Structure 1
Amino acid sequence: MLMLWLESGEPVLSWHERIGRHGETFRIAIFRSVGVGSGQENATPVGRFIQRLQIDEVPKLWNVLKGDLSTVQGS
């Protein structure tokens, strides 16, 4: 988180609204890996690294613990 903040000086988390199974909305957080208002192709060096390792998805675990999301096992 510190590396992301030092690299861009922007907020580290990006918040998005999602609609749950019963039509209820909830907020989900991910680590910001691109600049504010930038597209995926404008990822910062640290952003590309955390995307490659899928570390940017770690904050979603909070939503799993709260029950907003579930984990899915792929085949």
Structure 2
Amino acid sequence: MDASNPDPDPDRTPGLDSGGQVPQGDTPPAEGSMSGAGPRETHNPTRGWSRTPMIVLGVLVAVFMIYFLAWAVLL
């Protein structure tokens, strides 16, 4: 593999046949675990959303519903 051709060279890549394919019955090496992919998460709340965002979201939904209901009645 070089800068001009990103494909691996099947002659020099272990585990590939002459056509560049993985041989029948052979599997590629396993990937690493996702548990080590990021920083350790120390704050992970077990409860759902708090009341304030839910109340704000509910008020916004109610305002939009009232607006569209009034708009539909006036048509």
Question: Fold match, TM over 0.5?
Answer: no
Question: Normalization by structure 2: what TM-score?
Answer: 0.21
Higher relative contact order (CA 8 A, sep 6+): 1
State the TM-score, normalizing by the size of structure 1.
0.21
Larger C-alpha radius of gyration, 1 or 2? 2
